[in-house]
């Protein structure tokens, strides 16, 4: 039994070490989640995400990914977002379900989560703040639980 446990621990350690990279590509330099009010996310409710907790102290070039956590009650197959950066404003659509209504991403029970890269090759610094709001055709979007932002250095 002890040999089996040691073998499993060694295999897990190898897997974890295989995921580590010696270069600067693919490092998450910032991540944050914001909860959405149970009453829904109104169009005028802009999520402010200051990047002052970035692990790098200078400007970094990389990609921005968004994680959407939603309930099975989310009434749409996608989510249109507007991301306002210091030098640019970008609209992005994240497809949450296929044409048959099957949710993409991972889920268990009543909550699903999907991560999608929405911006590539942008430069951000700890002094920057990202602004995020929905661009859906309704004022208030229901069924969303949290939105996460990840900035991944290239």
Query: Within the chain, which residues score under 70 in pLDDT?
Result: 1-25
3-class DSSP state of 19: helix
* CATH 2.40.10 holds for 24-153: no
Q: For residues 82 and 90, is the Cβ–Cβ distance under 8 A?
A: yes
pLDDT in tens, 102-126: 999 998 789 999 999 999 999 999 9
Rounded to two decimals, the pTM is: 0.80
Please report the pLDDT score of residue 4 as a whole number: 41
Please report the pLDDT score of residue 109 as a whole number: 81
How many Å apart are CA 119 and CA 154, to the nearest integer? 12
Please report the pLDDT score of residue 13 as a whole number: 45
């Amino acid at each position: 039994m002890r040999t089996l446990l040691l073998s499993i621990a060694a295999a897990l350690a190898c897997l974890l070490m295989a995921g580590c990279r010696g270069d600067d590509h693919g490092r998450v330099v910032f991540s944050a989640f914001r909860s959405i009010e149970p009453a829904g996310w109104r169009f005028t409710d802009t999520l402010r995400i200051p990047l002052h907790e970035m692990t790098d102290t200078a400007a970094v070039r990389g990609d921005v990914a968004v994680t959407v956590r939603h309930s099975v009650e989310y009434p749409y197959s996608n989510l249109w977002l507007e991301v306002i950066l210091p030098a640019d404003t970008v609209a992005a659509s994240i497809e949450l379900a296929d044409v048959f209504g099957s949710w993409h991403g991972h889920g268990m029970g009543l909550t699903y989560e999907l991560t999608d890269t929405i911006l590539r090759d942008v430069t951000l610094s700890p002094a920057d703040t990202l602004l995020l709001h929905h661009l859906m055709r309704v004022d208030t979007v229901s069924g969303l639980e949290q939105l996460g932002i990840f900035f991944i250095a290239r």
